Structure 1
Amino acid sequence: MLLGYGCHRIRLISSLVRPSARATGCPLRGAEGHDSGRGRAGEYPERFPGASRGEAGSILLGSAPSGIRGGPKGPRSRIFTRGALERFVEPTTIEVEAGQVGQRLDRFLADRLQISRARVRHLLETGQVRLAGRILDLTGKSRLAALGDRFGIVGSLRAEDESPTPRLDLACEVVSEGSGWLVVNKPAGAGVHPLRQDQDDTVLNAVMARRPAIFGVGEGGLRSGVVHRLDVDTSGVLVFATEEATWLRLRGAFSDHRVDKRYLALVAGRYEKARRLDFSLAITRHQPAHVSVRSDGRSCRLYARPLRIFEAATLVDVKLETGFLHQIRATMAHIGHPVLGDAEYGGVGEEIPVQAPRQMLHAAKLDVDEIRVEIPLPADFEALLRDLTEV
Structure 2
Amino acid sequence: MCVGSVLRRAMEDRTYRVMAEPADVPRRFRVEMGEAGRRLDLFLAERLKLSRAQARRLLARGAVRVDGGRASESRKGVGLAAGTEVEVAPFRRPREARASAEADAPLVVLADGPGWLAIDKRAGEPVHPLHEDEGGTVLGAALARHPEIQGVGEGGLRSGVVHRLDVETSGVLLLATAEDSWHRLRQAFAEHRIDKRYRALVAGPIEPRGSISLGLVVARHRPARVRVVPESERARARGVRDVEMSWRLLETRGAVSLVEVRPVTGFLHQIRAVMAHLGHPLLGDRTYAPPGIARAAARHMLHASQIRFEEVSAESAEPADFLSAFEAA
- Please indicate, yes or no, whether the TM-score normalized by the shorter chain is above 0.5: yes
Tell me the alpha carbon deviations over residues 134-187 of structure 1, each in whole angstroms, 9 at most, x when there is no partner: xxxxxxxxxxxxxxxxxxxxxxx95x6111111011100011111111110000
CA distance change for structure 1 residues 223 and 354 in 2, over 3 Å: closer, same or farther? closer
Aligned to 1:30: 50
C-alpha deviation, 1:3, in angstroms = 6.7
C-alpha deviation, 1:385, in angstroms = 1.6
2:261 is the counterpart of 1:241: no
Cα distance between partner residues in 2 of 1:321 and 1:31: 28
Cα distance between partner residues in 2 of 1:197 and 1:253: 29
SS of the equivalent of 2:174 reads strand
CA distance change for structure 1 residues 353 and 169 in 2, over 3 Å: closer, same or farther? closer
C-alpha deviation, 1:373, in angstroms = 1.1
Gaps of 5+ in 1: 9-28, 35-105, 112-116, 119-156
CA distance change for structure 1 residues 223 and 353 in 2, over 3 Å: closer, same or farther? closer
C-alpha deviation, 1:313, in angstroms = 1.2
Aligned to 1:293: 228
Aligned to 1:88: none
- How high is the sequence identity, in percent, across the aligned residues? 45
Larger helix percent: 2
C-alpha deviation, 1:379, in angstroms = 0.8
SS of the equivalent of 1:201 reads coil
Cα distance between partner residues in 1 of 2:325 and 2:223: 27
Aligned to 2:12: none
Cα distance between partner residues in 2 of 1:167 and 1:323: 29
Give, as a single letter, the amino acid of the residue that structure 2 aligns with 1:374.
Answer: E
2:274 is the counterpart of 1:339: no
Task: Report the aligned-residue RMSD.
Answer: 2.8
C-alpha deviation, 1:331, in angstroms = 0.3
Cα distance between partner residues in 2 of 1:335 and 1:357: 22
SS of the equivalent of 1:177 reads strand
**Aligned pair partner of 2:245 in 276, 283, 302:** 302
Cα distance between partner residues in 2 of 1:258 and 1:214: 24
Cα distance between partner residues in 2 of 1:283 and 1:366: 26
Give, as a single letter, the amino acid of the residue that structure 2 aligns with 1:360.
Answer: M
SS of the equivalent of 2:296 reads coil
Aligned to 2:151: 216
Which consecutive segments of 4 or more residues in structure 1 shift more than 6 A?
A: none
C-alpha deviation, 1:222, in angstroms = 0.6
SS of the equivalent of 1:345 reads coil
2:284–2:294 contact (8 Å) kept in structure 1: no
**Aligned pair partner of 1:323 in 241, 244, 266:** 266
Cα distance between partner residues in 1 of 2:165 and 2:295: 24
Scaled by the length of structure 2, the TM-score of the pair is 0.71
SS of the equivalent of 1:236 reads strand
C-alpha deviation, 1:5, in angstroms = 3.9
State how many pairs are aligned: 253
C-alpha deviation, 1:272, in angstroms = 2.5
Cα distance between partner residues in 2 of 1:359 and 1:309: 18
C-alpha deviation, 1:2, in angstroms = 8.7
Aligned to 2:215: 280
Cα distance between partner residues in 2 of 1:353 and 1:191: 21
1:312–1:353 contact (8 Å) kept in structure 2: no
Gaps of 5+ in 2: 1-18, 27-48, 63-71, 74-92
2:325 is the counterpart of 1:381: no
Cα distance between partner residues in 1 of 2:173 and 2:294: 31
Tell me the alpha carbon deviations over residues 1-58 of structure 1, each in whole angstroms, 9 at most, x when there is no partner: 99744459xxxxxxxxxxxxxxxxxxxx621428xxxxxxxxxxxxxxxxxxxxxxxx
**Aligned pair partner of 2:164 in 225, 229, 246:** 229
**Aligned pair partner of 1:263 in 198, 209, 218:** 198
